[in-house]
Amino acid sequence: MTIRISPSILAANFASLGTELESISNADMVHVDVMDGHFVPNISMGPVVVEDVIRTSPVPVDAHLMVADPDTWAPQFAEMGSASVTFHAEAAKAPIRTAREVRKLGARAGIAISPMTPVEPLLDVLPEIDMILVMTVEPGFGGQSFLDVTLEKIRRARRAINNAGVDVWIQVDGGIAEPTIERAAEAGADMFVAGSSVFGHDNAAERVDTLRDLAGRHFCHDV
């Protein structure tokens, strides 16, 4: 099992974003949160900024769309070159059709669920997606504390993926640091979004390696 770390630029210094991106060149992907002020109350960045990140990032872009109309926007972010595009189950009107369109455009398709959203509907359509993003905080704001109540949801997703024999990643996003990454890995997550726990340190690359090592040592495939 491959453990992947995707630092979130929401915690980066946007005044020197190019330098910040270079500082995580050992990461597996870079996580870009797109918020529209409708699906979540916060507003972050739009297509123009994401295109700049795609063009300059030393690692592939992992786009997380917290927007009210992902059926329209998700294919556009795939078309502009995002390696992975994740949209929220709560916002999509035609999630399978949207996931298929994202895949057709060459990106991995992920579906995200908020802490109170059940994971079971996604477990019935695993062959149609490449990743389940289990939000471990409420979407929309950085700096929140990890919600341990989401761990059982991760375990159920891991068991279903193992039983189906499909290559679907489980990503967690929110409050990922030490020791929360250990608990999420023990539950079966294999891709981790980390914001301030990476960019909030002097040596971001070292933090990426540390978190990857911690997750790898605690990852449990059979939960």
H or E element in which residue 6 lies: strand 4-7
Write out the two tokens for 64.
Answer: 């997380």
Tell me the per-residue pLDDT of 187-210, one tens digit each, with 9 for 90 and over.
Answer: 999 999 999 999 988 899 999 999
Catalytic residue among 33, 36, 62, 190: 33
Task: Please check whether residue 79 lies inside any domain of the structure.
Answer: yes
Q: What percentage of the chain reaches a pLDDT higher than 70?
A: 99
Q: Looking at residue 81, what DSSP letter applies?
A: T
Phi, psi of 168 (to 5 degrees): -120, 125
Catalytic residue among 36, 130, 173, 190: 173
Residue that the structure tokens 């995002």 belong to = 82
Catalytic residue flag (residue 62):
no
Task: Please check whether residue 132 lies inside any domain of the structure.
Answer: yes
**pLDDT of amino acid 170:** 98
Inter-residue contact 101 to 74 (CB < 8 Å): yes
**pLDDT of amino acid 42:** 80
Q: Could you give the number of structural domains in the chain?
A: 1
> Region 17-40: what's the mean pLDDT?
94
Inter-residue contact 7 to 195 (CB < 8 Å): yes
Task: Please check whether residue 175 lies inside any domain of the structure.
Answer: yes
Query: What is the pTM for the complete model shown?
Result: 0.95
Task: Please check whether residue 223 lies inside any domain of the structure.
Answer: no
Residue 67 belongs to domain with CATH number: 3.20.20.70
Tell whether the model's pLDDT for residue 220 goes beyond 80: yes
Residue that the structure tokens 């068991």 belong to = 159
> Region 117-143: what's the mean pLDDT?
92
Q: What is the Rg, in whole angstroms, of the alpha carbon atoms belonging to the chain?
A: 16
Task: Please check whether residue 81 lies inside any domain of the structure.
Answer: yes
Sign, CA dihedral 89-2-160-214, equals negative
Task: Please check whether residue 167 lies inside any domain of the structure.
Answer: yes
Catalytic residue flag (residue 173):
yes
> Region 40-59: what's the mean pLDDT?
90
Task: Please check whether residue 107 lies inside any domain of the structure.
Answer: yes
| More confident call, 220 vs 123 | 123
User: Which range of residues forms the domain containing residue 106?
Assistant: 4-218
